[in-house]
Amino acid sequence: MERSNHTVSEFFLLGFTSDPDMQLVLFVMFLIMYTLTVLGNTTLIVLICSDSRLHTPMYFFIGNLSFLDLWLSTVYTPKILVICVSEDKSVSFAGCVAQFFFSAGLDYSECYLLTAMAYDRYMAIAKPLLYSQVMSIKLCACFVAASYMGGFVNSSIITKKTFTFDFCNDNVIDDFFCDLLPLVKLACGGKEGYQALMYFLLTSNVMIPIALILASYLFIIATILRIRSTQGRLKAFSTCSSHLISVTLYYGSILYIYSRPRTSYSLDTDKIVSTFYTVVFPMLNPLIYSLRNKDVKEALNKLFK
C-alpha cells in the first residue's frame, strides 16, 4: 500500500480510560470474555465436526459463524488486554492496517453469512420437501466462500482508501482499536469522495443483507401463519429464533454506529457499542445457538461422556 509522505509511522490507542484501577477491572473483564469466547466457539466447532447428527446445512453455517467469531475476537481482544496493563499503547502503521483490514473483512463476511443463514431457514420452513435437495453441501460451501470473498474484497477497498489519507502529525486514536470513524476524524486531507464510498459499502454490506433477511422472514412468517396447530407454529418459529436473535443484536449495533447522521457521532458512546459487536457478540453466539438447541445439548452430553 502506498503511503503519503506526510502520514504518521504509528498510532496511539487511548482505550477506555486512563484510571489504573479501572484499567485493571477492564483487563479482568475482557480476559474472562475472551476466554469464554474461545472455549464456547471452539467447543461448538468441535461438536459440529465430530457429531454426525450435526452434519446438516444449518450447523455447517453455525460452525462457520463460530469460526468467524473466534477469529474476530482474536483480532481485537489481545490488543485491548495489552492496552489495559501496559504503558505502551502504540500500534505501528502496518499493525493498524492489518487490524483494520481483518476486522472489516470479518465483519463484512459475517453480514453475508447471516444472510445465507436466513435463506437456509426460509428453505427449511417454507420449502421443507425441497430443503435437502436444494441446500446441498456444494451450495452451502459456495455461500460460505462467497461470504468470505465478498467480505474481504470490500475490506480491501475500504482499507486502501482509508490508509492513503494524510494523517499529518495527529496519531492519537480515541478508541481501543483502529476503527473507521476515529481514523477518518484524524485525516487532514484527501477525503473527497470518501462519503460516497462509505454509503456504497454500508449499502452493499449492511442494507442489502438486511433487506434479504427481512424478505426471508416475511416468507417464513407467512408460512408459519398458515400452520393450523399452535404447537406446529411454535416448533417452526423455534428453528429460526436463534438466528433472529443474532441478526437483531449484530445488525442493531452496526446500524447504530454507522448509519447515524454525522452530527450525532459520539466516540465515547460508539466505543461502548462497538465493544458489543467486537467482543460481547462473539461470546454470546455459542450460547444463543446451544442453550436453545436440543441437538447441540445432546452432542455436548455425548462428548463429555
Is 70 within 8 Å of 33 (Cβ atoms)?
no
Q: Rg of the Cα trace of the chain?
A: 21
Tell me, what's the pLDDT at 4? 47
Rounded to an integer, what distance in angstroms lies between the CA atom of residue 157 and that of residue 196? 13
Q: What is the pLDDT along the chain (305 residues), one digit of tens a residue?
A: 545 444 677 888 877 777 778 888 889 999 999 999 999 999 889 888 888 888 889 899 999 999 999 999 999 888 888 888 887 788 888 888 999 999 999 999 999 999 999 999 999 888 888 888 889 999 999 999 999 999 999 999 889 888 887 776 678 887 788 887 778 777 776 666 677 777 788 788 888 999 999 999 999 888 888 888 778 788 778 778 888 888 888 888 877 776 666 555 566 677 777 788 788 888 888 888 876 677 777 777 777 77
Rounded to an integer, what distance in angstroms lies between the CA atom of residue 187 and that of residue 180? 11
Is 80 within 8 Å of 38 (Cβ atoms)?
no
Tell me, what's the pLDDT at 201? 80
Domains of the chain: 10-304 (1.20.1070.10)
Tell me, what's the pLDDT at 87? 79
Q: Please provide residue 12's backbone torsions phi and psi, each rounded to the nearest 5 degrees.
A: -120, 125
Tell me, what's the pLDDT at 214? 92
DSSP secondary structure string for all residues of 29-48 = HHHHHHHHHHHHHHHHHHHH
Rounded to an integer, what distance in angstroms lies between the CA atom of residue 161 and that of residue 165? 7
Q: Which of 32, 97, 35, 37 is nearest to 67 (CA)?
A: 37
Rounded to an integer, what distance in angstroms lies between the CA atom of residue 92 and that of residue 73? 20
Tell me, what's the pLDDT at 147? 95
The C-alpha cell that represents 304 in the structure block: 463429555
Tell me, what's the pLDDT at 71? 92
pTM beyond 0.85: the answer is: yes
Is 198 within 8 Å of 261 (Cβ atoms)?
no
Residue 29: Cβ within 10 Å count: 12
Rounded to an integer, what distance in angstroms lies between the CA atom of residue 43 and that of residue 17? 33
Do β-strands 172-173 and 90-92 pair in parallel, antiparallel, or remain unpaired? unpaired
Is 99 within 8 Å of 75 (Cβ atoms)?
yes
